[in-house]
């Protein structure tokens, strides 16, 4: 929810107001992984967690919190939302793995895990204990899991046509980023932001404020989907990680 706290945290992570396209230099050449990172770092929940991690004084607790956050958001290694994409030379670019996992430590207690599902996500529980006795036990579970996943993909193909790779449309994706940045970091109204980014839209030409508000709301829902879990689809359909 947008409030004074989330606005302040957003501005600390993303110091852009969305009004100047020059601030997004080189966006037409951004890779899938770059777009995925730009959407994730605008995820309000992720921003809050990053903000809280910086407050942790204990190195051990901070490291553990970073590991939990990385696992939750599908990152191989934690990367703060305020960090830029990085360079290949420095090796500090985000790496997405698309897999979250939990395990039970041997403390004599039963662990209960609350999990949220999004479209296209599947949860499979493995028992690695038999593999301590017979290594084949793990392979059998992996083969069964692969079969279940392939079956789910086949079911989804009956609903949504399969696409080998996400087609990135730089101008459209940039519009999404600028809309979020302007909404949080500028003093412009949502209708003004919508018209700025969609000057040829019918509602912009007719100056229909009600229509502009509704279209902003609809577009914003699509953008939030990309920041919460759609970014992973973008990342994992890239030719290279």
95-116 pLDDT per residue, tens:
998 776 777 777 777 878 777 7
Provide the greatest CA pair distance for the chain. 72
The tokens for 127 are 């028992």
Q: Output the CA torsion sign for 138, 143, 149, 152.
A: negative
Beta bridge partners of 75: 96
SS3 state of residue 36: helix
Domain boundaries, the chain: 4-98+164-236
Q: Give the residue among 71, 67, 51, 47 at the shortest CA–CA distance from 59.
A: 67
Characterize 6-30 residue by residue with b for buried, 16 or more Cβ atoms within 10 angstroms of its Cβ, and e for exposed.
beebbeebbebbbeeeeebeebeeb
- Residues 6+ positions from 175 with CB-CB distance below 8 Å: 197, 198
Q: What is the pLDDT of residues 3-15, one digit of tens each?
A: 999 999 999 999 9
Q: Quick check: 36 and 231 in contact, CB under 8 A? A: yes
Spacing of C-alpha 158 from chain mean position = 26
Mean pLDDT across 188-198 = 97
Could you tell me which residue, 188 or 91, shows the higher pLDDT? 188
> H or E element: which one contains 147?
helix 136-157
Among 51-60, 146-155, 217-226, the least confident range: 146-155
CA dist., res. 168 & res. 165, Å (int)? 9
Question: Could you say which DSSP state residue 88 is in?
Answer: T
Could you tell me which residue, 43 or 120, shows the higher pLDDT? 43
pLDDT of residue 166: 53
Using pLDDT thresholds of 50, 70 and 90, give the confidence band for residue 16.
Answer: very high
Is the pLDDT score of 241 beyond 50? no
Among 10-14, 37-41, 137-141, 159-163, the least confident range: 159-163
Q: Cβ–Cβ contacts within 10 Å for residue 230, how many?
A: 20
pLDDT of residue 104: 73
Return the percent helix, strand and coil in the chain, to nearest 5: 55, 0, 45
Q: Give the global pTM.
A: 0.80
Using pLDDT thresholds of 50, 70 and 90, give the confidence band for residue 162.
Answer: low
Q: What is the pLDDT of residues 113-152, one digit of tens each?
A: 777 776 777 888 788 788 888 888 888 888 888 888 888 8
Among 80-94, 120-134, 169-183, the least confident range: 120-134
């Amino acid at each position: 929810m947008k409030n004074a706290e989330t606005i302040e945290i957003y501005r600390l992570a993303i110091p852009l107001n969305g009004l100047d396209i020059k601030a997004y230099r080189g966006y037409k050449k951004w890779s899938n992984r770059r777009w995925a990172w730009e959407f994730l770092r605008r995820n309000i929940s992720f921003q809050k967690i990053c903000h809280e991690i910086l407050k942790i004084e204990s190195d051990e607790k901070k490291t553990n919190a970073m590991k939990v956050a990385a696992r939750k958001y599908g990152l191989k290694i934690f990367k703060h939302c305020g960090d830029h994409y990085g360079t290949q030379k420095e090796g500090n670019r985000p790496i997405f793995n698309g897999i979250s996992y939990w395990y039970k430590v041997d403390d004599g207690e039963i662990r209960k895990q609350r999990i949220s599902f999004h479209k296209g996500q599947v949860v499979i529980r493995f028992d690695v204990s038999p593999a301590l006795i017979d290594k084949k036990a793990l392979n059998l579970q992996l083969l069964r899991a692969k079969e279940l996943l392939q079956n789910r993909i086949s079911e989804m193909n009956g609903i949504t046509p399969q696409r080998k790779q996400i087609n990135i449309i730089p101008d459209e994706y940039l519009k999404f980023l600028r809309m979020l940045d302007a909404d949080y970091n500028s003093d412009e109204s949502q209708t003004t932001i919508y018209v700025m980014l969609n000057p040829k839209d019918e509602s912009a030409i007719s100056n229909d404020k009600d229509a502009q508000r509704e279209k902003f709301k609809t577009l914003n829902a699509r953008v939030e989907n990309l920041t919460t879990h759609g970014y992973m689809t973008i990342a994992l359909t890239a030719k290279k990680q």
